[in-house]
Chains A and B, each alone.
Chain A
Amino acid sequence: MKKRWLTKACSVALVATMLTGMTACGTTESDGSSPKESSAEASKAEPVEITAMITQSRYYNGLQNMIKKLEEEENISIDVQVVPDEQYEELMKMKLNSGESADIIDYNIPTIYDIVDPEKFFADLSDEAWVDNLLNPNTVLYKGKVYGFPFQSLQGLHGFIYNKAIFEDLGLTVPMTWDEFLDVCETIKNEGDGIVPLHFPKDTWVPQIIITDNMTKALGLEGNAEYGEKLRTNQAKWTDNESFAQVIDYYIDLFNKGYVNEDYLSATYDNSIEAVGTGKAAMHFNGDFFAASVLEAYPDVQLGMFNVPMPTAAEDIISANTASVGFVAYKDSEKLDTVKKVFELWSTPEYADLYFADRAGFPAFKGVNGGDTPDYLTEMKDKYLDTGKYTKAFDAMLGVGVTAVQNYSWVYYLDAPGKGMTGSEVLEKFQSDYESYMKENNQPGF
């Protein structure tokens, strides 16, 4: 009898929790909207709602504030479906192909033009007023037309991020050549009391950066885009360019010399942040956003950034991610007018400043405040960005081939040091995967 009472009490409690859950939910919602309703109701337009699909890792505070502002001032609300990064691309393609798309879709502009046919799916935004305000309109063009709305003119640049305190303690200076860089690693390894010279995680998108970056440097400012184009149309093979294999060999050498953390096959990206932030590791190769993330978690750390090309480099340049975080508008959306209005508003400093308020960056539009350049970036900015000695990586030219790169070669790069593969073996293996992928997708030339 007593036990039956207990079960009953349990289920009552459960139902009660559930009910409070629902009512609480109801009240928060109405709480949120009541002040707006009362304020300046007459002057406001009819409430409109549009839908958006956003990668969860890019649903930044800045963007959230922009969306909030729209709702408060314009009565435009955005229903955001936040999708985990790993599932984003499939879900987006599936929705577009079946005509179920959200009104606006978050992706890198112009990368998305390679993945989905913009003429078929996206609204032409060429005639919008904000296009004239773009600092660098070329980056959003597809066959001369604008299909995407960018936030940035440049997402970030690549290089070594290092912990300044470790360099000071060991009396090291920033290396200028690859040999000097190796010396620095050797010193840290020998005298650093367990400090790891270079930290890599198992996330496949990280270790590939130093390889792709150096392949780009080997091709040089001029040859870069051309070679990417050739790879895309099968006029060149990955194995054709000798320096590609050499780049991979230099990279593998770092592992053989013991400069990389031993647990690179199980460490996560978070571990990299922690290692550099806490001084367990001295360096890491990545985009400059890595430094921002380290500082977010460890505000007191002194970080610097430098560029040292491998001996394969044709000239002293850096690679940068020139694609911008942005949105495309779905062509058949019933609320295209509202979408265009939203983009128009977002291009103004009033809104766009919010985007950069807590994440400094390079704004896409004139007159927008991107925030102060962080300390670690000034040198790189002076030396490379302001002198135009930067380029996007060659793999930005590969079109759909990028999927093959991400799913095969990135995995091989991580796998090669442990399995004793050489650069040319890796590339030979990848070339056959690449060819069959391109064939499968009916790419011209394959």
Chain B
Amino acid sequence: MKARRKIEKTFTFFVLLAVGIIYLVPILMMLLGSFKDAGEVLQFNLALPTIWHPENYLYVLETGNILRGYANSLIVTVSAVIVTLLSGAFAGIVIARNSGRSSNALYYYFIFGLTATMQTVTTFALLKVIRLYGSYFGVIMVFVASNLPFTVMSFTSFVKGVPRELDEAASMDGCSPMGIMLKIHLPILKPIMVTNLIIVAISVWNNLMIPLYFFNSSKKMTIPLTIYNFFGMYSRNWHYVFAAMTLTVLPVIILYLCLQKHIVAGMTAGAVKG
């Protein structure tokens, strides 16, 4: 029995290892490619570089405006995440705790957003009319708005799973609704906060179209667009493209590794209940 279990375990391990290796192939190719020279990288394989060229990264950092891209991506991502999480959490609590027609209507008001896609041209026209075109504020708001449906949905279902007695007890003690939210709910909501933080942060960080269409100055351009600096119509410097890609991906992977522990908890407690 014990031996069988051990065999089973080793078997599981090797299955996972095999799938894991397949999973990593593209990422390894990118990493290795970023250290090769212009000719060698064109073979697109998993061979180690004959000579390592870490200076590719230096070149990319110096010429590609990567640092400015990082700064802009940070400004946009951090603000969008904070506004989305806070406004989404409050809306979620209200919808989950108030029963009745109005809260139901509000729920569908947000859910509708999941079925529609963002409309570039009309959004452009809107930003233009309300004079937010080209501003950080406008772009951040567009990001927040397009992420709110999912965030509100997941917060609503999470809060529904939190026992009502907690609220009632606090209310008896003379806590105002605002007080209950801030003191009781927000701490409990931490796991779902983290889940949403990761999802929103990743989608904002990686988005190409919104900054491209709604910013009008290179000074505000975010990081995904910088990859294109190493694309020419007539030739591509793949070793630089790979290095730029690695630099683009790095921060989100770090963020993910830091918060990974909480993701499962967040999904267990909340999103899962739909």
Contact = CB atoms under 8 A, between A and B. Distances in A.
Direct touch of chains A and B (CB < 8 A): yes
B70 A25 contact: yes
Main secondary structure of the interface of A (DSSP, over half): helix
Interface in B232-251: 232-236, 251
Main secondary structure of the interface of B (DSSP, over half): helix
B124 A98 contact: yes
A125 interface: no
A21 B74 CA distance: 10
A82 B221 CA distance: 9
A87 B251 CA distance: 27
A99 B125 CA distance: 11
A289 interface: yes
A100 B134 CA distance: 9
Interface string B26-47: 0000000000001100100000
Interface in A44-60: 51, 55-58
Contacts of A296: 235
Given A100-B133, A293-B235, A80 B212 contact: no
A142 to B, nearest CB: 26
B71 interface: yes
Contacts of A91: 212-213
Contacts of B134: 100
A21 B67 contact: yes
Nearest to B219: A79
* Residue of B134, B219, B234, B257 most packed against chain A (CB within 10 A): B234
Interface stretch (A10-18, A257-265, A305-313): A10-18
B233 A98 contact: no
Given A10-B258, A82-B228, A293-B235, A95 B251 contact: no
B255 interface: yes
B67 A95 contact: no
A220 to B, nearest CB: 30
A115 B75 CA distance: 36
B225 to A, nearest CB: 8
A209 interface: no
B119 interface: no
Contact of B212 (A11, A85, A87, A292): A87
Given A21-B74, A81-B217, A95-B216, A57 B67 contact: no
Given A24-B67, A94-B121, A273-B235, A82 B229 contact: yes
B236 A270 contact: yes
B130 to A, nearest CB: 13
A21 B233 contact: no
Interface in A264-287: 269-270, 273-274
Contact of A297 (B121, B213, B219, B235): B235
B185 interface: no
Nearest to A81: B218
Contacts of B229: 56, 82
B97 interface: no
A92 to B, nearest CB: 12
A269 B42 CA distance: 13
Nearest to B236: A270
B251 A17 contact: yes
Nearest to B221: A81
Contacts of A368: none
Given A28-B67, A83-B212, A56 B235 contact: no
A160 interface: no
Contacts of B52: none
Contacts of A289: 234
Contacts of B124: 94, 98
13 contacts: A10-B254, A14-B258, A21-B71, A56-B228, A56-B231, A79-B217, A84-B212, A85-B233, A91-B213, A94-B124, A100-B216, A270-B42, A270-B236
Interface of A: 3, 7, 10-11, 13-14, 17-18, 21-22, 24-25, 28, 51, 55-58, 79-85, 87, 91, 94-95, 98-100, 102, 269-270, 273-274, 289-290, 292-293, 296-297
